[in-house]
Each structure stands twice: as C-alpha cells, then as structure tokens.
Amino acid sequence: MKIYFDKNKSKQVLADTGQHIIKTDQPEMAGGHNEAPAPFNLFLASLGTCAGIYIKNFCDQRGIDASEITLDQKVDFHPIKQMINRIRMIINVPADFPEKYDNALIKSAEQCAVKRHLHSDIEMKTRVERN
C-alpha cells in the first residue's frame, strides 16, 4: 500500500491499495477541507463494515434477507489515556429475525479480521437488538 499526500489540499492523505484510492481529510477546525473521512473515522468504519460483511455472509448462507439489519457502533474512551477501551457493536435486526440465530450472528460479527488485529486490551462487545 502506498500512502501519499494531495499537494493541493493541505491535510488530505491518500492510500493506494493497488485497486482503490482511499482519500482521507481532516475537519475544517483541524485545518482540513472536510472532503473525506478523517483517518480515525475510517479506522472505526472499517471495524463496523468488516463485521457487516461477516453478518451479511451469515445471512446469505441461510437465505435470510439482511437488508433491514443495521449496526450501531459505540466507542468508549479511557478518561485519562484518551484511547479506546471499549467498542460496543449493536446488531439491529427486524422483529421477525429468527432468535435462534442471535448468538451465531454475534459470533459471525466477532470473526471480523479488523477486530482480530486490535490490541488485546481493547474490549469489543457485540449484541443483537430488535427494532
């Protein structure tokens, strides 16, 4: 992966993955143009979207429509270190989602490759909620 800078935009940093260009920026209050996610937000989004892929695969394998499933990701920071100490992933399923799959859905989400690479002292919790 190649990381480089946009010479015309002071805070934009881009990543060339070989197949895609990922653009990041900073909010205006931090000197950026707010034209793309900040790198930290992109990191957090990668956790949620990775879990989402595993959830979607789980549903696809069972012929379950996943179009009404959403995920809410809540991040808690250590009050002194100002580092993440807990991430709570809430899987919102429709009322008619088969309850027998709740634990399996959680286990699927927790297989996320991004999550598995986090430092071990970050607690990550996942649960299912019905709309």
d(CA 47, CA 88): 11
User: 15: which DSSP letter?
Assistant: E
Q: How confident is the model at residue 8 (pLDDT cuts 50, 70, 90)?
A: confident
Q: What are phi and psi of 107, to 5 degrees?
A: -60, -35
Instruction: Convert the pLDDT of each residue in 76-87 to its tens digit.
Output: 999 998 888 899
0.75 exceeded by pTM: yes
Q: How confident is the model at residue 123 (pLDDT cuts 50, 70, 90)?
A: confident
The tokens describing 127, both together, are: 């649960």
Res 6: pLDDT: 84
14-to-11, 18, 19, 21, 126 alpha-carbon distances in Å: 10, 12, 13, 7, 31
130-to-16, 67, 82 alpha-carbon distances in Å: 39, 14, 32
Instruction: Convert the pLDDT of each residue in 17-63 to its tens digit.
Output: 999 999 999 999 999 999 999 999 999 999 999 999 999 999 999 99
Which is nearest to 76 in space by CA: 64, 88, 68?
88
Rounded-to-10 torsion of CA 30, 33, 36, 41? 10
